[in-house]
Amino acid sequence: MERRDFLRKSVSAGVTAWTAVSASRVLGANDRLNVGLIGCGGRGTFDARLMRGTPEDIQAVAPENYHDGNLDPRLKEPRNVDIMALCDCYGSRMDSAKKWTPQAKTYDDFRKLLADKSVDAVIIATQDQWHAQMMILACEAGKDVYLEKPVVYRVGEAQAMINAVRRNKRIVQIGTQHRAADHMAEAARIVQGGKLGEVQFVRVWNYMAGGFGSQPVPDSEPPADLNWDAWLGPAPKVPFNRSRLSYRSFMDYTNGIISDYGNHRFDTVHQIMGQEIPLTVASSAVRFRKQRAGDIYDMQQATYEYPNFIMSYESSNYNGHGVGGRTEGMRYYGMRGSDDRPHGMAFYGTDATLFVDRIGMELYPEGSGGPRGAGRRGGGSAAAPAAPSARPARMHMNEDEPTPLHTKYFVDNVRARKDPFANIEVGARATAIACMGNVAYWTGRKLKWDPKTWSFVGDAEANKHTFRPNRKPWDLVKFSS
């Protein structure tokens, strides 16, 4: 069977039709890594240019990483990466990408790119509903994968993706770039080293001033260079509407702010707290701006119970004023004005509080304390608050946008055949948190989670939401519920 014929056929998520490892090229330290980009929109272009990683690329898409003309020395190391293939079902997107990689081959079907034996690895930066099938087929084709978050569209896809990565011995790194930030590792050391005391509550938020949704427009014919059926792929068939190209506003293609933005923060909470599996979830959500195109929730709140702490998540799509104080001279991710902190996490300990976002963190010893034993779960007495002299000193630090380093680490991992710290299991667990929050809202009740089966405990209605039937003929991978 020819590789292209194989990829055109549906494959079982649990069966390997041929040995991908034997079809992939073994790279030496000095060999050029040939990368294909699937999804040539803004995020795909950002990832691909940073993965190629020339000074010109970094200057073009991440100029904030230059300080007085200087780069982090780690970013100066030559990558020896060629973005040599592009794929998009929207021709104008590929035309834009060709401007910065004019020598690249172009494909209008990702299966054709996967059949190209000269491609070593792929970046998948498409709508969420495509992620699982594309990643599995890429692994079956012997490609390593940089997969943009969120990992899954429905949580039931996760186990098949993990199986495909491990079965085919592929390097798959998720685009949860917070993991590459030095201050995130330092935050984990602070929390897990006990400097905050006992951390029993974590708050996570994403606040945006009308970040999603536009004025509705009527249905129309798609642009001549857009294959609308392929763009929809496994999602329900609907007439073309230009609003849907802003896919993050539509639940047919994404899971809302809790998935798009919350995914990063959930992954960071897991990294910093050293726990990745919640026991229960409950959630509420509402859509206020019904006159806008789309159907994602304008506000959502979800509460997750982990073995040793509670995590509260909040999102807002109409008010961007964030949480926490400000430190003079600090930069904040997504900041607007003088006192907002629109995206972040707060770790509340018995001795201090740590605020963290993508580009920085602040430790506040103020505000800790309270009556001994108050609020401790499971009985007994909480540790007595530390004396003021024993508490950690107030501190803060800023870092650069972490994606340039994150893409570098992917290249390094491919060459070394080393499992990334942002691997498929880690990424899937973070995305599962978002999916769980939505299912809890849809069912209207508190749910218990079984991490071994990637399903809800004793709840058939909730488990119906762990899969969505993929539309033919785009059901290329057979998932089993």
Mean pLDDT by 10 residues, the chain (481 residues): 41 40 63 97 98 96 91 93 98 97 98 98 98 99 99 97 98 98 96 96 92 87 98 98 96 97 97 97 93 92 98 92 77 74 93 93 76 40 48 82 96 98 98 98 98 96 97 93 62
Nearest to 153 by CA among 264, 256, 304, 47: 256
Beta bridge partners of 36: 85, 122
What pLDDT was estimated at residue 371? 43
Cβ contact 402:271 at 8 Å: no
CA 119-125-131 angle, 5° bins: 95
What pLDDT was estimated at residue 5? 44
What pLDDT was estimated at residue 397? 83
Secondary structure (H, E, C), 451-471: CCCCEECCCHHHHHHHCCCCC
* pLDDT tens per residue, range 319-338: 888 887 777 777 888 777 66
335-350 burial code (b ≥16 CB/10 A, e <16): beeeebbbbbbbbbbb
CA-CA distances (angstroms) from residue 206 to 156, 258, 307, 413, 481?
A: 25, 8, 24, 31, 32
Cβ contact 288:299 at 8 Å: yes
What pLDDT was estimated at residue 323? 82
Parse the chain into domains and list their residue ranges.
Answer: 3-179+404-423, 182-400
What pLDDT was estimated at residue 408? 98
What pLDDT was estimated at residue 11? 43
Pairing of strands 121-124, 33-38: parallel
What pLDDT was estimated at residue 21? 45
What pLDDT was estimated at residue 387? 55
User: What CATH homologous superfamily does 3-179+404-423 map to?
Assistant: NAD(P)-binding Rossmann-like Domain (3.40.50.720)
What pLDDT was estimated at residue 27? 76
CATH classification code of 182-400: 3.30.360.10
Sheet holding 105-107, edge to edge: 105-107, 81-87, 33-38, 121-124, 144-147, 172-174
What pLDDT was estimated at residue 29? 66
The helix-helix angle for 424-443 and 158-167 (nearest 10°) equals 170
